[in-house]
Chain A
Amino acid sequence: MEIQLRVNGKPQQSSVEPRLLLVHYLRDVLGLTGTHIGCETSICGACTVLLDGQAVKSCTLLAVQATGGEITTIEGLASNAQKGSGNGAAGNGALHAVQEGFWEKHGLQCGYCTPGMILAAVDLLQRKKNPNEREIRTALSGNLCRCTGYQHIVEAVQYAAKKMSARKPLKMAASSGRTP
């Protein structure tokens, strides 16, 4: 079956078996191994990617269901990764604010959960500019981490929220107030 979709800004056309899971398509067909497989049972969130801007668990989607859609994986998040080669390896541009937050606040130890955590956090920050701690924990409840105890992950997301909302006033010249 023919599918057409965009992955990290780049159009892809592939012939796949209908039963191929999206996560296997990304990892095995496109070589984008930043998307991890943890539980394979829709619980852990390690396989989280964005489909049309929304966080989804790619182990619980068929690749054919993503036809016509726009996928963002961890490889596509840094600023000029999207212009890089298909596997995103050329993305040596500035990190996304959430990636930077995980770096600055030690939001990871082994890193297994990290790509999924980051994409779930991006989904949250698109919907809510300044989430409080409870909102962050709720939004990340579909992502399990066996190392950090979550505290540093919450701080990483708070760091990113602050950085992302600080950018806005620069554009709106005179306004100095924080966006609500």
Chain B
Amino acid sequence: MIPASFEYQAPKTLDEALRLVERHGDEAKLLAGGHSLLPLMKLRLATPRYVIDIGHLRGMSYIREENGQIAIGALTTHTEIEQSALLASKCPLLPETAAQIGDVQVRNRGTIGGSLAHADPGADYPAAILALDAEIIAANTSGTRTIPARDFFVDMLTTQLHPGEILTQIRIAPRRAQSGAAYEKLHQPASGFAIVGVAANVLLGEGGKTIEQAAIGITGLSARAFRAEAVERALSGKHISEKVIEDASRNGAEGVEPLSDLHASGEYRREMARVFTRRAVARAIVAARGDA
């Protein structure tokens, strides 16, 4: 289990890294935490000619407030997100999600940028990023652009990132009063990846009796993480009751082709999408009321 030979480059700045990815194109792979890329390289499923290690660019690892938003650097580790006091108060969904990724050792190395760019169908952050309507910032040698989370995930291991681009930052609006969120996950016992993971983010009406808005991100169920719009429609504007939540959760897998593999059949995943959507929505409502 030794990777094939490659040429290793460790740029000192983001600009230098951008020039390298532009120059080497398809022959190069960025290395962040390495906890998706190195397993693939050890199995020789990935054999890049150049490995461009951005892991030492500590300036890309931060969590801070910027113009009323929370900005997270792409190289921020899962552990840093899990332990962030700023996120705990302004966006608790993200630390809650980070804490459910893999194990301590994986969280100490893996980065949020690497997880989003890799777009594993069982990765956890995509569900949360979708439910939070986050923005993803990508840079290349000519500038930066902003990609809404909704448009970011294209297919299995495929995102909107173009060749030559580096994901630099994730931006999230801080949580509003009367809103609450939760991430509920059925994990694959060996690796920890999500068989199904559901992030729910709800905004309640005055008095906490109705749901004004709901944003539901689902991962694991299909080739790409997606917004469960049918669930959102079934919840928005409704008076909160167990029946409303139960009925809405039945739409979790609407319009998607569930994955089927040795860990779970498509039918089982579909059923788990219902169960975990119900749990996530119910807990998000509890969180939102706790605030009132």
Contact = CB atoms under 8 A, between A and B. Distances in A.
A65 B55 contact: yes
A120 B1 contact: no
Contacts of A21: 2, 42
A60 interface: yes
13 contacts: A18-B7, A41-B1, A41-B39, A42-B39, A55-B105, A57-B105, A57-B106, A59-B1, A64-B10, A65-B31, A67-B10, A123-B104, A141-B104
Interface residues of A, number: 32
Given A18-B8, A59-B1, A64-B10, 19 more contacts: A18-B5, A19-B3, A19-B4, A21-B2, A21-B42, A54-B108, A55-B105, A55-B108, A56-B105, A56-B108, A57-B106, A60-B35, A61-B38, A64-B8, A67-B56, A120-B104, A141-B104, A141-B192, A142-B105
Given A19-B6, A40-B1, A56 B109 contact: yes
Given A60-B109, A65-B34, A19 B10 contact: no
A19 B105 contact: no
A32 interface: no
A48 interface: yes
Interface in B1-56: 1-8, 10, 31, 34-35, 38-39, 41-42, 51, 53, 55-56
Contact of B38 (A51, A60, A143): A60
B191 interface: yes
Nearest to A116: B105
Given A18-B7, A41-B1, A64-B8, A124 B104 contact: yes
Contacts of B108: 51, 54-56, 123
Contacts of B79: 54
A145 interface: no
Contacts of A18: 5-8, 51
B42 A40 contact: yes
Interface of A: 1, 17-19, 21, 24, 40-43, 45, 48, 51, 54-57, 59-62, 64-65, 67-68, 120, 123-124, 139, 141-143
Contacts of B262: none
A55 B10 contact: no
